[in-house]
């Protein structure tokens, strides 16, 4: 989901947690735990998962959605 779509879900209180974790390729991805279960990744408008070079950049995206705390997953 795009940043805008995720902001709407957050406003409706459908997202309960923000998570930054290492990408399979390189860098970091941002995912959000949905109230109904499962993880929703941050994507671009084409549906491709967004990847960030560092933890700080990825964390900022979760803050932009509205979260004040972000869980950082351990390296693989």
Task: Summarize pLDDT for 7-65 with one digit per residue, the tens.
Answer: 999 999 999 999 999 998 889 999 999 999 999 999 999 999 999 999 999 999 999 99
Where do the DSSP E strands lie in the chain?
Answer: 15-22, 28-34, 39-41, 71-72
pLDDT of res. 75: 61
pLDDT of res. 6: 98
Name the pTM for this structure. 0.91
Instruction: Give the domain range for residue 50.
Output: 3-72
pLDDT of res. 26: 86
How many structural domains does the chain have? 1
Q: What are phi and psi of 52, to 5 degrees?
A: -120, 150
């Amino acid at each position: 989901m795009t940043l805008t779509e995720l902001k709407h879900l957050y406003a409706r209180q459908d997202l309960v947690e923000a998570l930054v974790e290492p990408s399979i390729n390189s860098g970091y991805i941002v995912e959000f735990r949905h109230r109904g279960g499962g993880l929703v990744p941050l994507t671009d408008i084409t549906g491709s998962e967004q990847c960030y070079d560092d933890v700080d950049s990825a964390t900022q995206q979760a803050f932009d959605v509205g979260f004040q705390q972000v869980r950082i997953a351990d390296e693989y």
